[in-house]
């Protein structure tokens, strides 16, 4: 009777199969714990979407990159599941393996299967690479060309005509038509930067003394975020830019309107802007401000931010940046204007905000 009570059914209960108070065998508890952890962590997948997520693509190249990522993830998961499955199989069977059987298990489970899967993934990646980074000759295909220069710490953006001449210049903002390829001519005058729009495609370095080319195609309209992906100085993290993907008709309307933009509507604000020397560094179409050292400020009021994504484009934030740029963006090359009367700083800020 004592033995029957101990065994329950006249046989010993294995330690790996002990039944707990919750009715779950000890052997199944690790798997349940892993499942619970995965379910708890699943909300983190929400971070895979957004205006700066390579896993929420809005362009052909980004879609290829995201597809490659998920295929690699699945392949890695299959290898991991196979190895873990073999581990549980070996731990639960509790029997003696022969040397030959153990060798075959290691050979097929630890070498052959992972090698076959990895070879398949590599082949798929090589096949996909032309879609990830296609090459086009802009002059042969008549594609829209945009020259982007990485400065410290902002982006100079120039729209070029078919002959390579500059049509107009802007800063920290790029507009592209959907469904059409755009060739980006990437440059840098000082240090290495890296041009990256995660939702549209992969990154490309901007190297002093060299022009690199990157072609991207936006598939759906929207506003996205681009960044510098190479450390370039103290304000490297404060060097973002905005990408507006627009329907072709809307893009052409904006392109024509942008060529006609001027900064002459507010005479008093323009007078203060020029009197305090701002025009020596910044240019504004249709005015005497023709500086090229800093960002071109034509249609500045249309931009979504001040200081390359650092502050919102609001009058008080513009005034804050004018007073002390270095406090907002360390090592910024723009001088401060804190010596000016507050009324004049506010007036210049209002003028810049009104530029369209």
CATH architecture of 267-353: Sandwich (2.60)
Q: Are 325 and 154 in contact (CB under 8 A)?
A: no
Q: CA separation (Å) from 96 to 86, 90, 110, 331? A: 15, 10, 19, 68
The pLDDT tens digits of the residues spanning 38-74 come to: 555 555 555 566 777 878 888 888 888 888 888 888 8
Q: What is residue 345's predicted lDDT score, i.e. its pLDDT?
A: 95
- Residue 130 has which token pair? 């032309």
Domains 138-259 and 267-353 share a fold: yes
Nearest CA to 156 out of 174, 129, 182, 183 is that of 174
Q: φ and ψ at 86, to 5 degrees?
A: -65, -35
The pLDDT tens digits of the residues spanning 70-107 come to: 888 888 888 788 778 777 776 766 666 556 666 777 77
> Alpha carbon 108 to chain centroid distance?
40
Residue 136 CB: number of other CB atoms within 10 A? 12
pLDDT tens, N- to C-terminus, the chain (356 residues) = 444 444 444 444 444 444 444 444 454 455 556 555 655 555 555 556 677 787 888 888 888 888 888 888 888 888 788 778 777 776 766 666 556 666 777 777 677 878 888 888 888 888 877 766 666 554 556 788 999 999 999 999 999 998 889 999 999 999 999 999 899 999 999 999 999 999 998 889 999 999 999 989 999 999 999 999 999 999 999 999 999 999 999 999 999 999 989 888 899 999 999 999 999 999 999 999 999 999 999 999 999 999 999 999 999 999 999 999 999 999 999 999 999 999 999 999 999 999 98
Question: What does the domain layout of the chain look like in residue ranges?
Answer: 2-38+48-132, 138-259, 267-353
What lies within 8 Å, CB to CB, of 144 at 6+ separation is 159, 176, 177, 180, 181, 182, 183
> Alpha carbon 141 to chain centroid distance?
28
Q: Are 211 and 173 in contact (CB under 8 A)?
A: no
325-347 as b/e, with b when 16 or more CB fall inside 10 Å? beebbeebebeebeebeeebbbb
What is the DSSP code string of 13-62?
A: PPGGG-B-TTS-BGGGHHHHHHHHHHHHHGGGGGGG-STT-TTS--BHHH
What lies within 8 Å, CB to CB, of 133 at 6+ separation is 61, 201, 202
CATH code for the domain defined by 138-259 = 2.60.40.420
Q: How far apart are CA 98 and CA 22, in angstroms?
A: 38
Q: What is the pTM of this model?
A: 0.77
């Amino acid at each position: 009777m004592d033995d029957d009570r101990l065994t329950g059914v006249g046989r010993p209960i294995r330690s790996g199969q002990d039944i707990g108070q919750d009715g779950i065998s000890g052997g199944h508890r690790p798997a349940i714990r892993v499942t619970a952890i995965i379910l708890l962590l699943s909300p983190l997948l929400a971070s895979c979407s957004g205006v700066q997520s390579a896993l929420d693509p809005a362009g052909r190249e980004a879609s290829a990159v995201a597809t490659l990522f998920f295929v690699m993830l699945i392949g890695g998961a299959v290898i991991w599941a196979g190895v873990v499955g073999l581990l549980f199989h070996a731990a639960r069977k509790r029997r003696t393996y022969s040397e030959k059987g153990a060798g075959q298990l290691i050979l097929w489970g630890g070498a052959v299967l992972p090698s076959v899967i990895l070879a398949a993934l590599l082949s798929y990646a090589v096949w996909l690479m032309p879609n990830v980074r296609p090459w086009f000759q802009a002059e042969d295909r008549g594609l829209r060309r945009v020259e982007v220069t990485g400065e410290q710490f902002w982006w100079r953006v120039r729209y070029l005509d078919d002959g390579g001449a500059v049509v107009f210049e802007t800063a920290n903002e790029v507009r592209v038509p959907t469904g059409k390829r755009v060739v980006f001519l990437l440059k840098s005058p000082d240090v290495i930067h890296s041009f990256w729009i995660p939702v549209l495609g992969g990154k490309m370095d901007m190297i002093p003394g060299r022009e690199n080319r990157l072609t991207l195609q936006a598939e759906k309209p929207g506003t996205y975020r681009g960044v510098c992906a190479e450390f370039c100085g103290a304000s490297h993290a404060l060097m973002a830019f905005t990408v507006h993907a627009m329907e072709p008709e809307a893009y052409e309307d904006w392109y024509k309107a942008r060529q006609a933009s001027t900064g002459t509507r507010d005479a008093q604000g323009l007078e203060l802007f020029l009197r305090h020397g701002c025009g020596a560094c910044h240019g504004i179409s249709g005015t005497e401000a023709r500086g090229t050292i800093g960002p071109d400020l034509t249609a500045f009021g249309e931009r979504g931010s001040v200081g390359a994504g650092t502050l919102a484009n609001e009058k008080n934030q513009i005034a804050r940046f004018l007073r002390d740029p270095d406090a907002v963006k360390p090592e910024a090359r723009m001088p401060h204007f804190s010596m000016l009367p507050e009324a004049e700083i506010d007036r210049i800020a209002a003028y810049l905000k009104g530029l369209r």
